[in-house]
Amino acid sequence: MTGARLRDGTLAGLSIVGAGLFFALVAVALVGLIAHRASGGWSSWMLDAAGWAVVRQALVVSLESTLTCALIIVLTGTPVALLLARKFRGRELLEAFVSLPVVLPPVVAGLALLLAFGRRSLLGQALGAMGIHIPFSLIAVVMAQTLVAAPLYIIAARNAFEQTNPELIDAAATLRASFIYTALRVIIPPALPALGAALALAWARALGEFGATLMFAGNLPGVTQTLPIAIFFTSQENLDVAVTISLILLLVSFVVLAAARLLQARMTVG
Amino acid sequence: MLSAEFRAQRGTFELDFAIEVEPSETVAVIGRSGAGKTTALRCLAGLVRPLQGTIQNGDRIWYDSATRTFVPSHMRDCAMVFARGALFGHMTALENVEFGLRAQGFGAKQSRERALEALDIVHAGSLSTLRAAGLSGGEVQRIGLARAAALRPSVLLLDEPLSALDIRLRPMVRDALRDTIAATKAATVLVVHDPAEAMLFAQRFVVVEDGVVVQAGDAKTLRERPATSYIASFAGTNLYRGRAKKLRDGSSRVDIGNASLIVQGEYTGDVSVLLDPDAVTLSAASSETSARNSFFGPVQAIVADRGAFRVTLASSPPISARVTAHSFEALGIQHGKTLYATFKALEVRVL
C-alpha cells in the first residue's frame, strides 16, 4: 500500500513537473513573439507599405494554395479513408504507404517531388512538352502541401469510418445499397463532425507547410511565397514583418485547433 | 423457390448446410448458439461467400461454385432482419424504411408511399418521424421488420428477430413478425435458438448441430422420429393456440377449441401456450390433486424418447407426456388404453 502510494505520489510529482516544463516552453515561445511587438509600443504594430505588401501577397498565396489543397484532400482523401476502413489483404501495407509523409521529413518530400516533376525527369519532360511546368508554380505549392497534409486527414477519417457498426454496412447491403450509396448515407453522415475536425487539422498543417514547399516551389513572392516561407526570408531583413506573419499564423492555428476540438467534443456527445 | 446447398467456413468453424423454401412458406433453422445458423443465413443473404455449393432463388442463381457465380448482397431479391435491428441511428424510422427503396432508385414519392404501407403492417406509423437512435428495443425490431417488408422481397431472412428483446416486449413484436411474414408472402427463413418460437411460425424445420444439418422436416417428423436427443427435447413439446381470459385469482383460462386450461398469470386475447411433456403426469384414473388441468383420452402414440417413453393421448386437445420406463410398465400403458393427463397451471409457458 505504502509503496503504491509512494509510486503514485512520485508519478504525480513527475507529471506536474513535466507538464509545467511543457507549458513553460509553449508560454515562453508565445511571449517571445508577443513581447517583441509590445516592446516597440503600439506604433510598431504598423508596418510600412512594403512590409504590408509582403504580408498581403503571402497571405493570398497561402489562402489560395491551402484552400485548394483542402478541397483536393476532401475529394481524394475521403475515398482512400473509406477504402482503408474496409478489411482487405494488404491493408496495413497500404496504410503505411499512405501515412509515410507524416514521418518523412518535409524537405525529403519536397526533394522527391522535385526529382519526379523536375525538368530533367521523364515526367517533367513529358509535361514540359505540353507546356506545363510544375516546379516553382502555385500548383507545386498545392502539391507539396497536399502530400504532407493529406495523411493527417486520411488517418483521422479512417478512424471515424471504422466506428461504423459493421452490421449497419451489412444491413445496407441487404437493402440493395451499393457501397457508394452506403458510404454516402450510412458511413459518412455520422462521421461528419470528425471529418470536419480532421480537415481543420490537415488545413492547419498545410498552412504551416515550409520544407517541402520551399524545396519544390521555391520562394517567388506573389507566386509561391507562402506565409511560413515569407517569415523565413523576411526575418533576416525585416523582423517586424516576420513577427506580424507569425502572429497571424499563431492566431489562425489556435482558432482552427479550438474549432477542431469543439467538433470532436460534439461528436462524442452526439 | 429458394433452394440452397453449400459448405461455408468462419475461422476454424465449418458449416455444411442445405435448405429448400417454397414461396409463402416459413422454414425455421433451429440450433443452439454457435451451431452455424447465422452463418447459414448470412450465406443466403450474400454477406458471406460459401466455399462450395449452390444457392438459387427461382431461376436466379445467386451462388454456384462450379461456375464461380456470386451475386452480391445488394443484387439479391431478398431482405434481412437483424437480431438487434441494425437500424441507421441518424435517420428517422421512416427514412430507415425508405432506405432500401431509395437505394434501388425509387422516387421520393413512391418510396414514401411504400414505406408508410410497410409501417402499417407492423402498426408503427406513429413512429415514422422519430429518430431511430431513440427508439426502444421493441420499436427498433418492428421498424426493422417494416424496412424488410418495404422491399417486397421474394426471400425474407430473419436472424433471431426476438432474441434480443425483453420477455415483456416479445408478444407485440411476435404479432408484428407474424403480420410481416403474412404480408410479404416470401420464402421465409427464420433463424432461432428457441425451438418453441420456431414452432409458432414455421411449417418446416431445419435443425443444425455443430455445423451440420441433423434433421429437416415438419413438426410431425421431428416429433415422431427425432434424429438427435436435442431434437427430441423440444419436438415433443405440447403447443396450443387459444384465447385467454383473466380470472379473478391472478390466473387465466385459455380456451382451446371446446377444452380449456388454466395458466398462472394474467393474459387476455390470442395466446400460444407451451407445455413440456416432462411436466405432465399420467394416471389410470381421475384423482383429486393440486394440479388444475386434466385431459383424458386413449393412448394414440408411443415414442422412445431419451431413455424414456413419450406417450400421446388422443384427448381434446391431444397431449404428450414423458414417462420413465418404470412408470410405463407400472401403468400398463398400451395403445388405446384411456389415461388421464394432469399438469399444474404453473408448468404452462405462455407466449
Residue B37 and residue B210: Cα distance in Å, rounded?
10
Are A175 and B84 in contact (CB < 8 Å)? no
Q: DSSP letters along A169-209, please? A: HHHHHHTT--HHHHIIIIIHHHHHHHHHHHHHHHHHHHHH-
Cα radius of gyration (chain B) = 23
* Closest-approach residue (CA) in chain B for A191: B90
Are A171 and B82 in contact (CB < 8 Å)? yes
Among candidates B74, B76, B87 on the partner chain, residue whose Cβ is nearest the Cβ of A178: B74
Q: Are the C-beta atoms of B214 and B227 separated by less than 8 Å? A: yes
Residue B188 and residue B78: Cα distance in Å, rounded?
10
Residue A250 and residue A241: Cα distance in Å, rounded?
14
How would you write B193-251 as a 3-class SS string? Answer: CCHHHHHHHCCEEEEEECCEEEEEEEHHHHHHCCCCHHHHHHHCCEEEEEEEEECCCCE
Q: What distances in angstroms separate CA A80 from CA A20, A86, B49, B99, B173, one per listed residue?
A: 40, 10, 25, 25, 41
Q: Are the C-beta atoms of B135 and B93 separated by less than 8 Å? A: yes
Largest distance between two CA atoms of chain A = 77
Residues of B in contact with A168 (CB under 8 A): 86, 88
Residue B253, helix vs strand vs coil: strand
* Closest-approach residue (CA) in chain B for A190: B90
* Reported confidence tier of residue A2, pLDDT bands at 50, 70, 90: low
* Reported confidence tier of residue A213, pLDDT bands at 50, 70, 90: very high
Residue B163, helix vs strand vs coil: coil
Are B103 and A168 in contact (CB < 8 Å)? no
Cis preceding-peptide flag for B317 (omega within 30 of 0): yes
**What pLDDT, on a 0 to 100 scale, did the predictor assign at position A231?**
93
Residue B113 and residue B291: Cα distance in Å, rounded?
53
Residue B252 and residue B248: Cα distance in Å, rounded?
8
At A52-91, the pLDDT tens digits run 899 999 999 999 999 999 999 999 999 999 999 988 888 9
Say if residue A88 is exposed, middle or buried (CB neighbours under 10 Å; 0-12, 13-18, 19+): exposed
Q: What distances in angstroms separate CA B129 from CA A74, B96, B109, B301, one per listed residue?
A: 32, 10, 16, 55
**What pLDDT, on a 0 to 100 scale, did the predictor assign at position A270?**
45
Most confident of A18-32, A82-96, A141-155: A141-155
Work out the minimum CA distance from A259 to partner chain B, whole angstroms. 23
* Domain ranges, ordered by start, for chain A: 1-46, 48-269
Residues 6+ apart with CB under 8 A from B191: B28, B29, B37, B38, B40, B41, B157, B158, B159, B160
Cell of A169: 454496412
At A107-145, the pLDDT tens digits run 999 999 999 998 888 898 999 889 888 999 999 999 999
Q: Which option is the CATH number for B238-350: 3.30.70.1450, 3.20.20.140, 2.40.50.100, 3.30.365.10?
A: 2.40.50.100
Cell of B111: 418510396
Are B74 and A189 in contact (CB < 8 Å)? no
Are A171 and B86 in contact (CB < 8 Å)? yes
Which of A197, A259, A250, A256 lies closest to A227, judged by CA? A250
Per-residue pLDDT of chain B (351 residues; tens, 9 = 90+): 999 999 999 888 999 999 999 999 999 999 988 899 999 999 999 999 999 999 999 999 999 999 999 999 999 999 999 999 999 999 999 999 999 999 999 999 999 999 999 999 999 999 999 999 999 999 999 999 999 999 999 999 999 999 888 888 888 899 999 999 999 999 999 999 888 889 889 999 999 999 999 999 998 899 888 888 889 888 888 888 889 999 988 899 999 988 899 999 889 888 888 899 999 999 988 877 878 898 999 999 898 888 889 999 999 889 999 999 999 999 999 999 999 999 999 888 888
Q: Which of A168, A175, A179, A192 to mutate to test the interface with B (most CBs of B within 10 A)?
A: A175
Contact with chain B for residue A80, Cβ under 8 A: no
* Domain ranges, ordered by start, for chain B: 2-235, 238-350
**What pLDDT, on a 0 to 100 scale, did the predictor assign at position A42?**
53
Contact with chain A for residue B79, Cβ under 8 A: yes
* Closest-approach residue (CA) in chain B for A180: B103
Q: Which CATH architecture has domain A48-269?
A: Orthogonal Bundle (1.10)
Residues of B in contact with A178 (CB under 8 A): 74, 103
Contact with chain A for residue B40, Cβ under 8 A: no
Q: What distances in angstroms separate CA A117 from CA A62, A69, B162, B336, one per listed residue?
A: 22, 18, 62, 97
Which of A191, A185, A117, A189 lies closest to A154, judged by CA? A191
Work out the minimum CA distance from A270 to partner chain B, whole angstroms. 10
Which carries the bigger pLDDT value, residue B154 or residue A1? Answer: B154
Q: DSSP letters along A107-174, please? A: HHHHHHHHHHHSTTSHHHHHHHHTT---TTSHHHHHHHHHHHHHHHHHHHHHHHHHTS-HHHHHHHHH
Which of A144, A80, A93, A153 lies closest to A116, judged by CA? A144
Q: Are the C-beta atoms of B322 and B341 separated by less than 8 Å? A: no
Q: Are the C-beta atoms of A141 and A224 separated by less than 8 Å? A: yes
Q: Are the C-beta atoms of B317 and B259 separated by less than 8 Å? A: yes
Q: Are the C-beta atoms of B136 and B58 separated by less than 8 Å? A: no
Residue B35 and residue B19: Cα distance in Å, rounded?
15
Are B103 and A172 in contact (CB < 8 Å)? yes
Angle between helices B137-149 and B170-184 (to 10 degrees): 0
Residue A78 DSSP symbol: H
Give me the phi and psi of B28, to 5 degrees please: -95, 135
Are A170 and B151 in contact (CB < 8 Å)? no
Q: DSSP letters along B23-88, please? A: TT-EEEEE--TTSSHHHHHHHHHTSS--SEEEEEETTEEEEETTTTEE--GGGSSEEEE-TT----
At A215-264, the pLDDT tens digits run 999 999 999 999 999 999 998 888 888 888 898 898 888 888 888 888 77
What would the CATH number be for the domain defined by B2-235? 3.40.50.300
Residues of B in contact with A171 (CB under 8 A): 80, 82, 86-88
For residue A269, pLDDT over 70 is answered with: no
DSSP-derived pairing of the beta strands B238-246 and B212-218: unpaired
State which H helix or E strand residue A17 sits in: helix A2-39
Which of B252, B280, B254, B255 lies closest to B266, judged by CA? B252
For residue A196, pLDDT over 70 is answered with: yes
Cell of B204: 418446416
Residue B196 and residue B275: Cα distance in Å, rounded?
10
